C-alpha cells in the first residue's frame, strides 16, 4: 500500500507540472505577444525536462514494481490507476531521452519549414525535412514497439488510443471504404435539389459572443471551471478544473463558428466531468483521443448538426441575431439545417463535412502506416496522395501539394498514429448516440425541445465519469454492450443525408 | 570558469521556473475562473518546491564556492552576477524549508481571515491570526539575520532592497518627518483657493482603451513584448520579454485610470529594458523594489502628474474623450493638472496623493520594525496606529481598524520590510529626475511638447540596462553622482505644490 501511495505521489507531481504546461500552452496560443516566444519555449522545455527527470527516478519505478506485486490489496480503481501509471511510465521510458530531444529539435525545424514551404506549395524543398523527421519517428516507433510488445504502428496508436489495435482500425476502415464512395455520390446527388438561402450579411461579433455562451451553458459547460476565448486555431486546452476553450469569430459565418464552439464544448464537458476524486491521477484523465473526439463530435455532429437541433435553435438565433422580417426564410429550421449539413468533396480535411471526412482520414492512415513501416518512401508521397484522393474523392492533387500531402501539421509535428482518432471518434459518437436512443427513448425529440440534460447525464455516467478506468474497448462495451461498431455510424449518415 | 558556468546553468533553470510562476500567477489574477484555484495552488506549490530543490542541490552550492575562489578569471558583469547568485542562494538557504512551508500555510489562512475580518472591521478576531504569523516571521528574520550578518530588520529589508540599510532609511525618513506635517498643511491650505471643474459624465471603456494604449506607446511600451489587460488590483507581472500590465477601467474616472496605467507602464519599461544578454541570470533582473517603484513613480509622478504633461495631454484627451464645446473648461490643461494633483489627508494608503503618501509609509515602517523586533505587541497595534495617524495626518482611526491597521494585505501576507520601498521609490524618482534636468537641459519643456524619448533613453542607460549590476546605492551614485538623497524629492513637492 505504501508503494502504491508513492506511485500516486509521483503521479500527482507530474499532474502539477502538466497543469503548468497546459496553462502556459494555452497562454502561448491565446495571449502571448510574439516577442515572448523564445523565453516561453525555454521555460516549457525546462518543464518537459523536469517531467522526464521525475519519470526516471528509480524510486518511482521501484514503487511501480512493488505496488504491482502487492496489487491484491488494492481496490478496482486503484488497480486500474496503477495499470495506467505503468503505461505512462512505459511510454516515457520506452524512448531514449536523446531521441526525445532530437525529435523535439527536429519537429521545431520541420514545422517552421512546413509553414513557409506549404505557403509556397514547395514540396521539393520540404521533402528532405520530412524525411529526416520520419527516420527519427521510425526509430521512436521501434523503441515503443519493443517496450510494449506491440507491432510498430500499434505502438504509436497506443499513445493516443490505448487498447485500440491496427486490426480493429483496419476492420472498420475497410468496411467504411466499401460504402463511402457510393454514399458520398448519392448524398451529393440528393442535395443538388435543395434550395438553400444564405444570410447575405454579417453578424457582429458582439452579438455572437453571448449567443455562443448561451449554447455552451445549454449543453452544460460550467463557466466556474472554464473560459471561452479567441485563437487562430480553435482548441480545447487547460485542465479539468479550468477548461480553456477557444473559437475564431467570423462575422460572415456565425453558423460554422457555433458548430466549432459546440465541438470544443464537447471536449470541454468530458474534461470538466472527469472523476473529481481522481483529479491528479492517470485514471482521472480522459481515455484517449478517439474517445475525446467522440465527445466533441457527439455534441457537434450528433446534436448540433441534427435537424432537431435546428428546430430548437432556429427561433433562438432568429431572435438574437436575425430580424423578424425574413422574406427568404433564412432563419427557418430547415434552411439552417441545410446550411449545417452540406456535403461536398474538397481538398482540405479540416473543412470537410462528416460524410467525406472519413475519406480524408483513411487516406492519411494508410499512408502514414506505410511510411512508418518503410513500405512507402517520402519521395512518393505526392503521387500516392493523388492516387488515393482520386480513388476516394475523385479529386486530383498533382502539383497542388499545399492542398494535398502538405496540408496538415501532424506529420511535420512528428505525430504519427493520431489521424485515425478523428474517424474513430465519429464512429464512437454514433455508437453512443444509438445507445442513448435505446436507453432514453427519444433523444431526438428531447433535442428538438431543447432538453438535452438527460442526454448529458447519460454521457456523464457512461463516459465522462469513467476517466481511464476502462480501455477504449472496455468503455464501449460497458456503455453500449459491444466493441467498436461501424453500423450506427453508417446508419446515422444514411438517416441524416439520404432520408427525411 | 567551468564552475561559474554551472552557476549560470542553475540560474537559468531557476529563471525558467520563475517564468512559469510569473505567467501562471498573472493568469490566476487576470484569467482564471474561480473553480481553478485549488489545482492552481497545488501546481504553484509544486513549482515552489522544485525551485527549492534546485537551490538545495549540492552541485549548485559547490559551484558557487568554487566559482568564487576562481573569480579572478571573470569579467565585471560575471563577478557581479556571481555576487547576485550568491545572494539569491543565501536568501533561499537562510530559512529552514519547514519554516517556509509553515509560513506559506499560515499566510494563506491569515490572508483569508484578513479578507473577511477586515470587511467586518473585526480587529479582535483578526489579532490572533496576525500574532501567530508574526511569531513565524520573527523566526524567519532571525534566521536571515544570522545568515547575512545583518541586523534583524535589515535582513528583511535586504529581500526587497539589497544594499539599503535601516540606518539609511531612518536618516531619510526622519528628514521627511520633520518637514512633512507642515508641508501637508501648507499645500492643503493653498489648494483651498483652487477652482476645479469635474467632468460630471462617464467616459465609455471602449474609448478609454485605445487612449491608454496610445499613452503606453508614447512612453515606449513595446506591445510585441507585453500586454495590457484588466484585473481587480492593477499590477505589472509577466517576464521581461512578455510584460503583463493590468488596469481597472472606471467609466466615472478615466483620469486616475490613466495615472494608474502610466504607473504600471513605468514598472513595465524597467522590465522590458533590462539587459537582454543577461535575461536568465540574477544580474539581468531588476535591482529591487525601491528602484522598481522609482520607475513607476518616475512615469506617474514626475511625468504624468506634472503641469507640463497636461499641457501635452489635455488637447489629445479632449479630442479622443471630450467634446469641442467645453464651457466649464474641464479639458483645460490647468484644470486637469488640478484634478491630478489634489492633496488631502486620508485614511487609505493606496488612495493617497504623493504629498501625504510618505506619512502612511513612515507610520508602517516604524510599526513593522517595532513588531519585528518585539518592541511592540500585536495587541497594541490599533492604539499605536491611531497615535501615529493623529501625529502625522491629524486623523484618528480608533474603532476604525478596517481603514486603520487592517487596511493592507502586506502583513497578513507575511511581507515585513516591503513598505519602505514605496517612499524610497518616490525619493529615488525625484533624485533621478533632478539629474535628468542637469543632463538633458529642460526635460519639463520636452514633456510639454510630448517628446519624452530622450528622457526614456536616459533612464534606459542609467537604470534599466544596469539590471542588478550595481547595488541600489551604487546605481544611484553612478546615475546621479550621490547616494540616496531626500532633497530633490522635497524640492519637487515644494515646486509642484507650493509654486506656479
Mean pLDDT of B254-277: 97
- Tens-place pLDDT, residues B76-94: 999 999 999 999 999 999 9
Residue A334, chain B, CB below 8 Å: the answer is no
Whats the size of chain B, residue-wise? 500
B337 close to B307: Cβ distance less than 8 angstroms:
yes
Residue B134 has pLDDT above 80, yes or no: yes
Chain B positions touching A35 (Cβ under 8 A) are: 222, 224-226, 241-242
Which residues, including other chains, have CB under 8 Å from residue B86's CB and lie 6 or more apart?
B64, B68
Instruction: Give the dihedral sign, CA B152/B158/B160/B166.
Output: positive
Distance CA A183, CA B136 (A): 74
Q: What average pLDDT does range B393-407 have in this prediction?
A: 96
What whole-number distance in Å separates Cα of residue A259 and Cα of residue A216? 11
Is B38 touching A (CB cutoff 8 A)?
A: yes
How high is the pLDDT of residue A395?
A: 97
Q: Choosing among B10, B22, B37, B43, which should be mutated to test the A contact, i.e. which has the most A CBs within 10 A?
A: B43
Angle B204-B245-B340 from CA coordinates, rounded to 5°: 55
Asked if A36 and B223 come within 8 Å (Cβ–Cβ), the reply is no
> What does the DSSP 8-state code read for residue A235?
-
Task: Name the residue with higher pLDDT: B121 or A322.
Answer: B121
Selection from B107, B165, B105 nearest residue B134 by Cα: B107
pLDDT at residue B25 tops 90: yes
Contacts of B29 in chain A (CB under 8 A): none
Mean pLDDT of B139-147: 97
Cα–Cα separations (whole angstroms), residue B171 to A97, B371, B374, B424, B464: 58, 20, 22, 12, 27
Q: What's the pLDDT at B163? A: 85
Which residue ranges in chain A fall short of pLDDT 70? Answer: none
pLDDT digits (tens, 9 = 90+) for B267-316: 999 999 999 999 999 999 999 999 999 999 999 999 999 999 999 999 99
Angular region, A281: left φ>0, alpha ψ -120 to 50, beta rest? beta
Q: What is the pLDDT of residue B500?
A: 77
Query: Do residues B268 and B236 lie in contact, with contact meaning Cβ atoms separated by under 8 Å?
Result: yes
Its ipTM equals 0.93
Are B17 and A227 a contacting pair at CB < 8 A? no
Distance CA A245, CA A256 (A): 16
B326-352: average pLDDT = 96
* Angle, helix B357-373 to helix B381-393, in steps of 10 degrees: 150
Q: Are B392 and B258 in contact, with CB atoms under 8 Å apart?
A: no
Q: How many CB pairs below 8 A link A and B?
A: 102
Nearest to B33 among A17, A19, A225 (CB): A225
Residue A49 burial by CB count (10 A; 0-12/13-18/19+): exposed, middle or buried?
A: middle
> Does A410 contact B at CB distance below 8 Å?
no
Q: How many CA atoms lie within 13 A of A104 on its CB side?
A: 14
B416-440 confidence digits (pLDDT tens): 999 999 999 999 999 999 999 999 9
How many whole angstroms separate alpha carbon B155 and alpha carbon B143?
A: 9
CATH for B147-500, options being 3.90.1150.10, 3.30.1360.70, 1.10.1370.30, 3.40.50.2300: 1.10.1370.30
Contact B33 A280 (CB under 8 A): no
DSSP bridge partners of B443:
none
| A224–B contact, CB cutoff 8 A | yes
Mean pLDDT of chain A: 96
Q: Does B239 touch chain A (CB under 8 A)?
A: yes
Q: Which residues of A touch B35 (CB under 8 A)?
A: 222, 224-226, 241-242
The minimal CB distance from A227 to the residues B24, B31, B224 is found for B31
Between helices B97-119 and B123-148, what is the axis angle to 10°?
150
Alpha carbon distance B249, B276 (integer Å): 32
Residue in A36, A43, A223 closest to B20 by CB: A43
% pLDDT > 90, chain B:
95
CA dihedral B416, B420, B425, B427 (to 10 degrees): -170
Q: Does B16 touch chain A (CB under 8 A)?
A: yes
With beta carbons less than 8 A apart as the criterion, state whether B249 and B230 touch. Answer: yes
Where is A236: in which H helix or E strand?
A: strand A236-239
Among residues A173, A145, A149, A168, the alpha carbon closest in space to that of A372 is found at A145
What CATH class is the domain A151-500?
mainly alpha
Q: Within A149-204, where are the H helices? A: 152-160, 166-191
In this prediction, residue A163 carries a pLDDT of 85
Query: B84, B140, B158, B264: which one is catalytic?
Result: B264
Report chain A's terminal Cα–Cα distance, integer Å.
Answer: 59
Domain boundaries, given as residue ranges, for chain A: 2-150, 151-500
- Grid coordinates belonging to B112: 483569508
Query: Which pLDDT score is estimated for A101?
Result: 87
Q: By the 8 A CB rule, do B470 and B478 touch?
A: yes
Identify whether the C-beta of residue A155 lies closer than 8 Å to the C-beta of residue A90: no
Which residues 6+ apart lie within 8 Å of B447 measured at CB?
B303, B306, B308, B309, B312, B455
Question: Does residue A264 have an active-site annotation?
Answer: yes
pLDDT value of position A414: 95
Amino acid at each position: 500500500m505504501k508503494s502504491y501511495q508513492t506511485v500516486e505521489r509521483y503521479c500527482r507531481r507530474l499532474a502539477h507540472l502538466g497543469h503548468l504546461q497546459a496553462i502556459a500552452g494555452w497562454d502561448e496560443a491565446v495571449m502571448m505577444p510574439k516577442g515572448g516566444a523564445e523565453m516561453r519555449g525555454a521555460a516549457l522545455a525546462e518543464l518537459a525536462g523536469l517531467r522526464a527527470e521525475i519519470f526516471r527516478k528509480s524510486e518511482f519505478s521501484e514503487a511501480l514494481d512493488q505496488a504491482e506485486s502487492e496489487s491484491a490489496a488494492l481496490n478496482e480503481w486503484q488497480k486500474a490507476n496503477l495499470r495506467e501509471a505503468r503505461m505512462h511510465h512505459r511510454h516515457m521510458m520506452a524512448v531514449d531521452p536523446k531521441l526525445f530531444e532530437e525529435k523535439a529539435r527536429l519537429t521545431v525545424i520541420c514545422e517552421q519549414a512546413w509553414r513557409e514551404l506549404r505557403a509556397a506549395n514547395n514540396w521539393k524543398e520540404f521533402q528532405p525535412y520530412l524525411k529526416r523527421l520520419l527516420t527519427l519517428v521510425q526509430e521512436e516507433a521501434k523503441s515503443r514497439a519493443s517496450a510494449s510488445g506491440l507491432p510498430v504502428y500499434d505502438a504509436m496508436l497506443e499513445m493516443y488510443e490505448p487498447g485500440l489495435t491496427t486490426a480493429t482500425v483496419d476492420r472498420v476502415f475497410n468496411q467504411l471504404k466499401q460504402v463511402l464512395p457510393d454514399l458520398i455520390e448519392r448524398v451529393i446527388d440528393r442535395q443538388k435539389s435543395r434550395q438553400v438561402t444564405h444570410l447575405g450579411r454579417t453578424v457582429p461579433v458582439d452579438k455572437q459572443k453571448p449567443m455562443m455562451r448561451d449554447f455552451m451553458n445549454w449543453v452544460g459547460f460550467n463557466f466556474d471551471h472554464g473560459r471561452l476565448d479567441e485563437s487562430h486555431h480553435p482548441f480545447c486546452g487547460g485542465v479539468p478544473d479550468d477548461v480553456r476553450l477557444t473559437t475564431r469569430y467570423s462575422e460572415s459565418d456565425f453558423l460554422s463558428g457555433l458548430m466549432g464552439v459546440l465541438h470544443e464544448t464537447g471536449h470541454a464537458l468530458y474534461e470538466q466531468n472527469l472523476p473529481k476524486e481522481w483529479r491528479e491521477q492517470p485514471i482521472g484523465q480522459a481515455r484517449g483521443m478517439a474517445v475525446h473526439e467522440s465527445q466533441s463530435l457527439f455534441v457537434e455532429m450528433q446534436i448540433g448538426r441534427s435537424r432537431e437541433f435546428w428546430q430548437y435553435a432556429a427561433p433562438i438565433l432568429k431572435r438574437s441575431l436575425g430580424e423578424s422580417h425574413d422574406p427568404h426564410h433564412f432563419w427557418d429550421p430547415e434552411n439552417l439545417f441545410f446550411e449545417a449539413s452540406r456535403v461536398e468533396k474538397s481538398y482540405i480535411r479540416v473543412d470537410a463535412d462528416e460524410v467525406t471526412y472519413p475519406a480524408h482520414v483513411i487516406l492519411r492512415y494508410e499512408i502514414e502506416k506505410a511510411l512508418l513501416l518503410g513500405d512507402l518512401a517520402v519521395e512518393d508521397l505526392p503521387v500516392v496522395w493523388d492516387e488515393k484522393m482520386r480513388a476516394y474523392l475523385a479529386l486530383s492533387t498533382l502539383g497542388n501539394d499545399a492542398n494535398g500531402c502538405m496540408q496538415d501539421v501532424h506529420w511535420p509535428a512528428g505525430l504519427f498514429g493520431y489521424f485515425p482518432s478523428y474517424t474513430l471518434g465519429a464512429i464512437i459518437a454514433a455508437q453512443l448516440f444509438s445507445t442513448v436512443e435505446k436507453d432514453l427513448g427519444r433523444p431526438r425529440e428531447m433535442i428538438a425541445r431543447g432538453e438535452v440534460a438527460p442526454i448529458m447525464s447519460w454521457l456523464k455516467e457512461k463516459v465522462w465519469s469513467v476517466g481511464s478506468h476502462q480501455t477504449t474497448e472496455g468503455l464501449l462495451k460497458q456503455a453500449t454492450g459491444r466493441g467498436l461498431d461501424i453500423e450506427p455510424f453508417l446508419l446515422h449518415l444514411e438517416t441524416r443525408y439520404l432520408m427525411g
